[in-house]
Amino acid sequence: MAITRASRHLVQNEPLIFERSAAGKRGYQLPPLDVPAADLTGLGRLRRDQIADFPEVSELEVIRHFTRLSTWNYGVDTGLYPLGSCTMKYNPRVNEQVARLEGLAQGHPLQPEELSQGALRIMHLLSRYLLEITGMDAITLQPAAGAHGEMTGILMIHALLSARGEARHKVLIPDSAHGTNPATAAIAGYQVQNLRSNARGTVDLADLDRVMTDDVAALMLTNPNTLGLFEEDIHRIADLIHERGGLLYMDGANMNALVGRARPGDFGVDVMHLNLHKTFSTPHGGGGPGAGPVAVKSELEPFLPIPVITAGADGRLRADYDRPRTIGRMRSFYGNFGMFVRALAYIMANGCDGLKQTTEDAVLNANYIRRGLEGAYALPYDRPCMHECVFSDQKQQAHGVSTGDIAKRLIDYGFHPYTVSFPLVVRGAMMIEPTESAGRDELDEFIAALRAIAAEAETEPERVKSAPHTTRLSRLDEVSAARQPILRWRR
Ligand SMILES: *Cc1c(COP(=O)(O)O)cnc(C)c1O
C-alpha cells in the first residue's frame, strides 16, 4: 500500500493503521434498514466500496489510531506553553460547558430576533464588559481574529478621515510591531512608515515627532509593546498624534497585562482590537475560530460594521442594519458566537477582582522568569517587564547555538518552545510569556530547564543544535510543513 513520506515518518516502528486494513472489517454498526433503500447514483456521492483502497478497520483500531496521534501533540492541557505574544492561558472547562448549553450551541443566526434574545443579550453584555475593561465607547464583536480586527479598525479610520475630507496616505508602525500590523496597513492601501524604538525599547518620541506629518492617518501601537514593555509616554504619544490630525490605533493583543489596571480609552487610544482567544481564555490555535472585537471612541461609532446590537426602550435587543455610514460587513452574521459565550463566562467567573488578579499574576510570572534566567541569557532591555519577557541568544551564539536550537532543546525537557526570533528588533529573540496559568513549581522547572540548556550550550553545543532528540521527528522543514502540509495518508 502506498504511504506518503509524512506517514512513513509517523509510523517509524509502530504499525500504520492503514496497513491494518482488511476487507470486511467494520468500524461502525448500524441498525438494519427500516426504510426503502435510496438510490444515490447521480448525486455525486461515492459509496465506501467505490473508493479504491479505502481502509477497512475496526472501531477500536480507529480509536487507538487517533488517540495515539493526539498524544504526539502538545497543548495547553499538556503543560506550559510559553509562546510569547500568544497568551496561551488555560481554557477553563466551565467555559466549554456553558458554550455547549443546548440553547446556545444549537441557536441559529437566522432565528427570528424574538427567539434570539438570549444570544443577543450575551453579545450585548459581553460588549458592555469589554467597553468597561477598555474604557472605550462602542464596539463590534464581529471580526474573527486579531488581524481581522486590525483590518476592521483601519478601515474605520479610513472612513472617518474620508468623511473629514482628508486623504492621508501613511500609517506609522514601530519596528517592534507584530507582523500583522504592517500587513493590515498595506492591505488597506496605506504606506507603512517605520518608527524607531529608543534604547529603552519604547517609541522614540523624537523620531515620532519627525515622521508624524499631516499625511499620517494613524499610528498602530501595541501597548505593552512586543518587548513586554509599557509605553510610558503613551499620553504624549497620543497627544502628538491627535494634535496633527491622526488617530491612535492600539493593537490590544497584549491586554493580559492591562485588564483591571489600565484602560486604553483613558490613555488616548481611538480604536483597538482585543483577542478573546488570548486575553479572555477562549481556545486558541489550530487556525481558529477566534474573535477579535474592535472597540472605538464615539467619533468612530457611525462606521462600525453592521449589524450593531442595540437595546430598544422596551429592553428588547435587536440587530441594527440601518447604519448609513457603516464600513459594511466584516464577517457573516455576528462573528464567532461560541467565543463570545466563553469570553463572557470567563469574565463573569473572574469578576472585577479576579480579572485584576489575573493581570497581576501574569506580570508577576513574567518577571519571575526574567529574574530566574538573569545571567544565563542576555537581556537586551534590562528593566521590569509586563506580561512577557524577551531574552536573546547572544551569549549562546558564541558557541554557535541559536534561539531556534534552544527552543528545540526545550522540547526534550518537556516544554513547548517560547516564541523564536520575534520581535525583530531583538536579534536572536527568545520571547517568553508564561501567563497567569503557570504555578510557581512549573515556572521553577521551566527556569531550571532553560538554565540547563544554557550550560549545555557551553559544554556540548552539538546536543542542543541537533535537538529535539525525544520526538518522533526531529527537525522538520518548517516552511514546507506550514505551506504544503500533507494532510492525507496517501497522495
Ligand atoms: C496575536 C497577535 C496579533 C494577531 O492576532 P490573531 O488573532 O492571531 O490574528 C496581532 N498583534 C499582536 C501583538 C499579537 O500578539
Question: Shortest CA distance to 286 belongs to which of 7, 479, 482, 10?
Answer: 482
Question: 112 with 168, same domain?
Answer: yes
Closest ligand 1 atom to Cα of 147? 9
Strands 216-222 and 191-195: unpaired
pLDDT at 7: 41
pLDDT at 46: 74
Q: Give, in order, the Cα–Cα distances in Å from 10 to each of 16, 60, 345, 465, 489.
A: 8, 19, 39, 22, 10
- Contact yes or no for 330/305 (Cβ under 8 A): yes
Residue 224, in any domain of the structure? yes
Q: Of 295, 314, 348, which residue sits at a domain end? A: 348
Grid cell 492503514 is found at: 18
> What spacing in Å lies between the alpha carbon of 48 and ligand 1's midpoint?
42
Q: Of 348, 369, 384, which residue sits at a domain end? A: 348
Residue 302, in any domain of the structure? yes
Query: Which residue's alpha carbon is at the smallest distance from atom 2 of ligand 1?
Result: 253
> What spacing in Å lies between the alpha carbon of 154 and ligand 1's midpoint?
15
Best of 152, 220, 251, 284 for a ligand 1 pocket test (most atoms within 8 Å of beta carbon): 251
> What spacing in Å lies between the alpha carbon of 292 and ligand 1's midpoint?
9
Closest ligand 1 atom to Cα of 226? 13
Question: 143 with 233, same domain?
Answer: yes
> What spacing in Å lies between the alpha carbon of 385 and ligand 1's midpoint?
19
The CATH number of the domain holding residue 110 is: 3.40.640.10
C-alpha cell at 236: 504624549
> What phi and psi, each to the nearest 5 degrees, are found at residue 152?
-60, -45
Question: 263 with 133, same domain?
Answer: yes
Query: Which residue's alpha carbon is at the smallest distance from atom 4 of ligand 1?
Result: 146
Type of residue at 23: A
pLDDT at 9: 41
440, burial (CB in 10 Å: exposed 0-12, middle 13-18, buried 19+):
exposed
SS3 content of the chain, % helix, strand, coil (to 5): 40, 10, 45
Residue 491, in any domain of the structure? no
The CATH number of the domain holding residue 438 is: 3.90.1150.10
Question: 344 with 395, same domain?
Answer: no
Strand order in the sheet with 389-392: 389-392, 429-432, 419-420
pLDDT at 486: 83
- Contact yes or no for 268/235 (Cβ under 8 A): yes
C-alpha cell at 378: 542576555
**Count of structural domains within the chain:** 3
Question: Shortest CA distance to 258 belongs to which of 266, 249, 246?
Answer: 266
Residue 159, in any domain of the structure? yes
Question: 332 with 397, same domain?
Answer: no
Question: Shortest CA distance to 85 belongs to which of 173, 176, 154?
Answer: 176
pLDDT at 16: 65
Best of 85, 221, 227, 294 for a ligand 1 pocket test (most atoms within 8 Å of beta carbon): 85
With a cut of 70, which residues of the chain have pLDDT below it?
Answer: 1-17, 48, 286-288, 489-491
Question: 148 with 9, same domain?
Answer: no
452-485 exposure pattern, b = at least 16 Cβ within 10 A, e = fewer: ebbebbeeebebbbebbeeeeeeeeeeeeeeeee
Question: 363 with 317, same domain?
Answer: no
> What spacing in Å lies between the alpha carbon of 268 and ligand 1's midpoint?
21
Question: 185 with 306, same domain?
Answer: yes
Pocket of ligand 1 (CB under 6 A): 85, 145-147, 178, 180, 222, 226, 251, 253-254, 275, 290, 292
C-alpha cell at 322: 440601518
pLDDT at 473: 84
Residue 76, in any domain of the structure? no
Residue 35, in any domain of the structure? no
Closest ligand 1 atom to Cα of 150? 10
Question: 109 with 194, same domain?
Answer: yes
pLDDT at 279: 98
pLDDT at 4: 39
CA distance 81 to 74: 9
Question: 360 with 472, same domain?
Answer: yes
pLDDT at 38: 85
> What spacing in Å lies between the alpha carbon of 218 and ligand 1's midpoint?
18
Question: 51 with 154, same domain?
Answer: no
Closest ligand 1 atom to Cα of 145? 7
pLDDT at 444: 98
CA distance 364 to 354: 15
Residue 486, in any domain of the structure? no
- Contact yes or no for 237/231 (Cβ under 8 A): yes
| Domain housing 375 | 352-481
Question: 60 with 108, same domain?
Answer: no
Q: Of 348, 373, 392, which residue sits at a domain end? A: 348
**DSSP-based three-state secondary structure for 367:** helix
Closest ligand 1 atom to Cα of 290? 7
- Contact yes or no for 195/175 (Cβ under 8 A): yes
> What spacing in Å lies between the alpha carbon of 147 and ligand 1's midpoint?
6
Best of 178, 221, 231, 431 for a ligand 1 pocket test (most atoms within 8 Å of beta carbon): 178
Those residues whose C-beta lies under 8 Å from the C-beta of residue 258, and which sit 6 or more positions away, are: 223, 224, 264, 359
Residue 120, in any domain of the structure? yes
Query: pTM for the full model?
Result: 0.91
